[in-house]
Amino acid sequence: MLKDVSLKKYNTFGIDVKADWLADIDSVEQVLTIIDDSSGMPKLILGSGSNVLFLNDFKGMILLNNIKGLKVVEENDREITVDVNGGENWHDFVMWAVDNNYGGIENLALIPGKVGTAPMQNIGAYGAEVKNVIENVYTVNMHTCEPKTFSKEACDFGYRHSVFKLPENKGRYFIHKVRFKLYKKYYQVDTSYGSIKKVLEQKNITTPGLRDVAGAVMEIRQSKLPDPKVTGNAGSFFKNPYIDLKKLEKLQENYPNIPFYKTDKSDIVKIPAGWLIDQAGWKGKRFGDAGVHPKQALVLVNYDNATGQDIKNLAEQIIADIEDKYGIRLQPEVNFINHSPSENIS
Ligand code: FAD
Ligand code: EPU
């Protein structure tokens, strides 16, 4: 257990705040002991800190999820079911699946973070979402110590959403294990996302395997997104907004080239927030050490010593400007951490 510890290296934004206490958690039993021993003290569960923005010192205890382990539960010709503990690194799990020729998560290569956080916002990229391979999510209630298993249906997964993101559930459940079903024989890779196809074509790969797809995704990601080890960031700062067709038609009157994507609802489309922010002139703007990335307008960055409040102020200016220009209110994807976990917003 560490006391008065700087969180700079525990969040990819590189925000330099302090926590009163930080506990490295390597078992469920340890979670239960800490809940028992420190009741009343605010607690925050942290994976790799790649989707949080600390606004101030954390007056309480950080529980760093380092519960390791992977176990094959069952297997046949077509499928394999695996239980992965929440403290495993997400990308390492993806590469384990690729190395063993188990399909289903190769498009999610190189997403930072821990396995236990993946269900939280239903991580997604390049045409895939983690909900497609999740069977169960295993948790411990942080107030009562009771174990609770959420089936895939109970998780209520949506675009960058799950039951765990609801305000009443934030900080309530410690996700310590996730059960995945991956695919073996007859599995077809998904290369439908435009830029994957392009990379594979450039390499003359006509019948791509899992490794080719993961490789293409990694290449695209490395070319577009800033490496948090070099420039602090938390990936996309905002979610891509959903609007109805009426609103789209209205916007097209002024912005005939506005890009949009179909959703599962025929009257709703998704607009890339990066395009809105870019068109509004924010791309590459810098205010002190807080800025909008010059290559990807959806990513806010900490060039060195920005505070969480500096980043939040910039985000608020962008939200107001986008609302003013397009009548769309952007929602942050990043989790704001404000003193007590019960006060967090997302
Ligand atoms: P943290 O930041 O540690 O935590 C995030 C939230 O979950 C916090 O509120 C925390 O309290 C809570 N939490 C953490 N662990 C647990 C747990 N075990 N139980 C309960 N609650 C918990 N995301 C995508 O979906 N797609 C992308 O393509 C993508 N690209 C990214 C690229 C970059 C460069 C970066 C920096 C981020 C990107 N992200 C992306 C966002 C991020 O990687 C994911 O949201 C990831 O799942 C966060 O994992 P983490 O362990 O770092 O979470
Ligand atoms: N665009 C611009 N200017 C920009 C950025 C984007 O015009 O500066 C436009 C372009 O038209 C581009 C479109 O936006 O074609 C989409 O951009 P991109 O393919 O980079 O994807 P995104 O919508 O910005 C989303 C996810 C990413 C995920 C990628 C790939 C969200 C909020 N973000 O980004 O996830 O990796 O698609 O699937 O859904 C994350 O969640 O942290 C994250 C990085």
Q: Choose the residue to mutate in 84, 88, 117, 343 for probing ligand 1, maximizing ligand atoms within 8 Å of C-beta.
A: 117
Identify which ligand lies nearest to the alpha carbon of 118: 1
What does residue 300 show for φ and ψ, rounded to 5 degrees? -90, 145
State both tokens at 225.
């997104």
Here the tokens at position 55 are: 């606004």
Q: How many helices (H) and strands (E) does the chain have?
A: 7, 20
Taking only the tens place, the pLDDT of each residue in 149-172 is: 999 999 999 999 999 999 999 999
Band of residue 194 on the pLDDT scale cut at 50, 70, 90: confident
C-alpha 291 – ligand 2 centre gap (Å):
17
Per the document, the length of the chain is 346
- Region 267-296: mean pLDDT is 98
Set out the domains of the chain in order of their start, with CATH numbers: 2-65 (3.30.43.10), 70-183 (3.30.465.10), 232-337 (3.90.78.10)
Residue 148 C-beta-side C-alpha neighbours within 13 Å: 17
Q: Which amino acid is at 42?
A: P
Copy the structure tokens of residue 231: 């420039």
Give distance in angstroms: CA of 315 to centre of ligand 1: 19
Q: Cα(8)–Cα(58) distance, rounded to whole angstroms?
A: 12
Beta strands per DSSP E along the chain: 2-6, 18-25, 43-46, 52-54, 58-65, 70-75, 79-85, 124-125, 128-129, 134-141, 147-151, 173-183, 232-236, 242-244, 261-262, 268-270, 286-287, 290-292, 299-302, 335-337
Separation between Cα atoms, residue 89 and residue 93, nearest integer Å? 6
Amino acid code (one letter) for 278:
D
- Please report the atom of ligand 1 found closest to the CA of residue 118: 47
| Whether the Cβ atoms of residue 279 and residue 255 lie closer than 8 Å to each other | yes
Mean pLDDT, residues 103-119 taken together: 98
Residues with Cβ within 8 Å of 122's Cβ and at least 6 positions away in sequence, in order, are 129, 130, 131, 155, 157, 158, 159, 160, 161, 162
Q: What is the three-class DSSP state of 3?
A: strand
The verdict on the CB of residue 48 being under 6 Å from ligand 1 is yes
The pLDDT confidence band at residue 340, using thresholds 50, 70 and 90, is very low
Alpha-carbon distances, residue 256 vs 26, 276, 325 (angstroms): 53, 13, 15
The pLDDT score that the predictor gives to residue 341 is 43
Q: Please tell me the pTM assigned to this model.
A: 0.97
* pLDDT band at residue 345 under the 50/70/90 scheme: very low
The residue ranking higher by pLDDT, 194 or 51, is 51
Q: CA-CA distance, 235 to 226, in Å (whole number)? A: 8
**Distance from residue 74's CA to the centre of ligand 1 (Å):** 28
CA-closest candidate to residue 12, choices 319, 216, 308:
308
Tell me what pLDDT residue 16 has.
Answer: 98
Neighbours of 236 (CB within 10 A): 21
- Does residue 175 line the site of ligand 1, with CB under 6 A? yes
